[in-house]
Amino acid sequence: MSAFPTGTLTFLFTDMEGSTRLVQALGERHGELVIAHARLLREAFLQAGGLEVGERGDGFFFVFRSVPGAVEAAAAAQRALAGYPWPRGVEVKVRMGLHTGEGSLAGGSYVGLAVHRAARVADAGHGGQVLLSAATAALVQDGLPQGLSLRPLGTHRLKDLPGADELFQLVIEGLVSEFPPLRSQRPAASRLPTPLSCFVGRERELGEVRAELSRTRLLTLTGPGGIGKTRLSLQAAAESGPDFADGVFFVPLAQVRDPNLLAPAILSALGLPPRADDPRSAVHAYLAPRELLLVLDNFEQLLGAAAQVGECLQAAPALKVLVTSRAPLHVYGEREYPVPPLDLQAPGLPPAAGKSATAVEWAARSEAVALFAARAADARPGFALTEQNAAVVAEIASRLDGLPLAIELAAARVRIMPPEAILPRLSSRLTLLTGGARDLPDRLQTLRGAIAWSYDLLEEPVQRLFARLAVFHGGAGLAEVEAVCRPMEELGLDPLDGLAALVDHSLLRQAQAGGEPRFSMLETIREFAFAQLEQSGELERLAERHTQAFAALAQAARPHLTRARRREWLQRLEGDLDNLRAALVRLLQHREAGRAQQMVAALWRFWLMRAHLQEGRERAEESLKLFGSEPSERIAALSAAGSLAYWQTDAGAAHRWFEEAVAMAREAGERRTLALTLYDYGFGILIGGDVGRALALVGEGLTVARELGEPEVVGELLCALATLRWRAGSPDAALPLLDEALEVLTGSDSVHLLSWARAMRGNVRLAGGDIEGAREDYRQRSLLYDDSGDLGSMSQQLIVLANLALAQGHLERALRLRGAAEAAQEASQIRPLVMESLAKRFAEAAEQVGEERAAELVAEGRLMPIEQAAAYAMEGLSR
């Protein structure tokens, strides 16, 4: 990109008019037209010294160092187009627009307001017309060559751009010079401030705000400080200007605190003289006959004046009001639009090498990254996204929650340090993010000031609740808020009233999670709240309550994770994963062995099912370094650690943890625990290849289980023993054990045991040549599935159905499923032994279809989304 110049440049955009009509007229010959169109334009532009930046739809984006060169190139291109012998007598008409301004590079292209203006100038024209902005016209009007002249077209409002632009038409001798009115509207007498920086992203939000304005007369944009409410309102108002015959007017209210001063502020914005006697009546009288849009900016400290807005709407039937506020007005007829953070797309690492998108292209898809790049280029001319810094910028944007103010403040730091140096300093966002533009209001010159502005408007009990909510990580449900923060008992505050106040002031976000409300903060806001909590002296007390609440949640979920309602509980645990992590880390740091081991035992299946296997194993092993717990607590944690090691096929660790668990269970005399730990130990031994010893251990466990007489324990040991028999090459000995297990488990809602028994009996039947019997067992297993997102079970399902496909001779299906199963295992972090046992059969299948074709099929399977792969796998059950 070093070939692209910077500094003062002329940008030229083109667009072919009526391309759809031309396709219909020419059919197959349309491609010939497109090629000729591109050749003619490129020849004219390149000959005049233009540099091609890229294509835009049916047109091009070129940049010129010379203003006269750009104008002459546009004229030459129009003459070439007019003189070309187009097929079937069609006419190719191209609109062109030129604007001269500052050219800055970012993300592999030019960015900034000048580029946007040039594009919008082109969009306003018609096919065959060349439009110039006032800046370009002023630089070329005294030096136009013979045959070219300028025709002033007056001022026009251009799409996406605030204010009005004076436009000129380039009249080219010998070509058509009369065109319909420009595709813009002459501006009404509006008063909107002109932003000094380009508007980035927010296409979806702009469309939604404009749509809402078309349906309602009072629209309030809400959100925390720095979310970009004012900037979005200005852009929406500028784009909506042509819809209001009497204009659009901006009323800044950040410095107005007295509700009695709202009417005088509106009069001032309208350009009317002050009225000391009755300013409200004067406002009503002016607005009553007019079709007008008022933008009331920063209304949150004037909520006591909300009724006055309603009075204005009643007095003026054609009036519409767009409000920005950290809290809604709660006026009749109001529609609220919560402004979201900027789109982050996919923060983190860029695509792997070899993918189609480069790191720069990948990062630039994010609105938040685009904003950082644009503002960084303003702060340090020449700054651009590169393959080296793209992922870092994306991570900065993610760490800042996509909050525009925070991103702009961070981008300003590029003056003195590169993004690679900014990222590690974001651990304290509120300290780093200072030093905004001096012409910004004080509250927006630091992120802390923006948040403090909202905090200061809260009543004292609500401020205390706000601080206490900082103890949560990633938000919480109402039950946890009440248990940890105790707003009613200790703050004298109804919890719903307090939460509603914080949501209204945009310091808290509300969402629905399974029908229950959930409340969370942006991390930038949580950091401010956490500082208040630390200052209050309540942090340790609240942290202990938090730990108790989420340890209790883990225990409550534990018995449900293998049963029919597991989806609900898995989702709940996933939603509170950060809270569960924080609670467990706190227990480990405080060396509370018993409570930590209880949490590990409660969560290990969740970690397994939701692909947190390595994290869970590390936490489990950390808990086992602590001592002083009850034997039952340690045994449960040993079984958890061993099970997680087993699913990673780590024979040494699984053997070690299970062996200690069996020894402790024998010593404690816990018969039920002994039966289950013997089963665990047997499978730990199995990884090392000693099937005989594994059979002995599980057989002993089954004997103990039969003595206990608990059906589910017996069923689990029967499944375990049958699995070992099958692994030992004795399917005939395994089949009656599985028949008995399914009989014992009749009426059970243990999805885990029933699906295991069905899958194993299918495997055994398949090994014995009973393909139809196996297919029926696999089908019954599939009926136990839900959409819980249990990646481990889904990967197992793919494996057993790949095995079925092999037996049926459907080799291509089997190889696709092998690829899908491998991808699912990688996603789930699980390495099941059954896949290894099928390796020889997959190799034989690959040899039959050909190694190259087999590799293609496996690759196809790996690329399938797991839900699609599961559906594809189950198709085989009907054949």
Q: What's 291's domain CATH number? A: 3.40.50.300
- What is the DSSP annotation of 102-113? EEEEETTEEESH
Question: Are residues 411 and 464 located together in one domain of the fold?
Answer: no
Hey, what's the torsion of the CAs at 112, 113, 115, 121, to 10 degrees?
Answer: 170
| CATH label of the domain that carries residue 159 | 3.30.70.1230
Instruction: Let me know if residue 198 belongs to a domain.
Output: no
Calpha distance 99→167 (Å, rounded): 10
Closest CA to 834 of 869, 796, 808, 866: 796
Calpha distance 210→307 (Å, rounded): 24
For the stretch 19-38, pLDDT in tens is 666 666 666 666 778 888 89
What are the beta bridge partners of residue 248?
293
Instruction: Let me know if residue 703 belongs to a domain.
Output: yes
Give per-residue burial for 622-632: e unless 16+ CB within 10 Å, then b. bbbebeebeeb
Q: Residue 245: what pLDDT?
A: 79
Q: Label the pairing between strands 320-325 and 218-222.
A: parallel
Question: Are residues 818 and 837 located together in one domain of the fold?
Answer: yes
Instruction: Let me know if residue 621 belongs to a domain.
Output: yes
Question: Are residues 525 and 592 located together in one domain of the fold?
Answer: no
Question: Are residues 139 and 215 located together in one domain of the fold?
Answer: no
Give per-residue burial for 569-604: e unless 16+ CB within 10 Å, then b. bbbbbebbbebbbbbbebbbeeebbbbbbbbbbbbb
Instruction: Let me know if residue 16 belongs to a domain.
Output: yes
Instruction: Let me know if residue 263 belongs to a domain.
Output: yes
pTM greater than 0.85: no
Q: Residue 843: what pLDDT?
A: 85
Q: Which two tokens stand for residue 472?
A: 């949560």
Instruction: Let me know if residue 193 belongs to a domain.
Output: no
| CATH label of the domain that carries residue 488 | 1.10.10.10
Q: Which two tokens stand for residue 840?
A: 């020889």
Question: Are residues 727 and 605 located together in one domain of the fold?
Answer: yes
Work out how many domains the chain is built from and give that number.
6
Angle between helices 390-399 and 367-379 (to 10 degrees): 110
Question: Are residues 80 and 150 located together in one domain of the fold?
Answer: yes
Of the three residues 305, 338, 371, the one that is the final residue of a domain is 338
CA-only gyration radius of the chain, Å: 34
Question: Are residues 572 and 690 located together in one domain of the fold?
Answer: yes
* C-alpha dihedral sign at 230, 233, 239, 245: negative
Instruction: Let me know if residue 192 belongs to a domain.
Output: no
Question: Are residues 698 and 840 located together in one domain of the fold?
Answer: no
Give per-residue burial for 517-533: e unless 16+ CB within 10 Å, then b. ebbbbbbbbbbbbbebb
**Residue 320 is part of which domain span?**
203-338
Query: 298: how many CB neighbours lie within 10 A of its CB?
Result: 22
Calpha distance 684→645 (Å, rounded): 9
Question: Are residues 231 and 284 located together in one domain of the fold?
Answer: yes
CB 113 within 8 A of CB 126: no
> For residue 748, what are the CA distances in angstroms to 371, 566, 751, 753?
56, 14, 8, 9
Of the three residues 149, 172, 195, the one that is the final residue of a domain is 172
Instruction: Let me know if residue 190 belongs to a domain.
Output: no
Residue partners of 106: CB distance under 8 A and separation at least 6: 370, 373, 374, 376, 377, 383, 384, 385
Closest CA to 775 of 870, 869, 876: 876
Question: Are residues 390 and 334 located together in one domain of the fold?
Answer: no
Calpha distance 593→15 (Å, rounded): 70
Question: Are residues 442 and 464 located together in one domain of the fold?
Answer: no
Question: Are residues 122 and 18 located together in one domain of the fold?
Answer: yes
Of the three residues 402, 428, 447, the one that is the final residue of a domain is 447
Query: pLDDT under 50 in the chain at which residues?
Result: 1-2, 186-187, 346-356, 436-440, 442-445
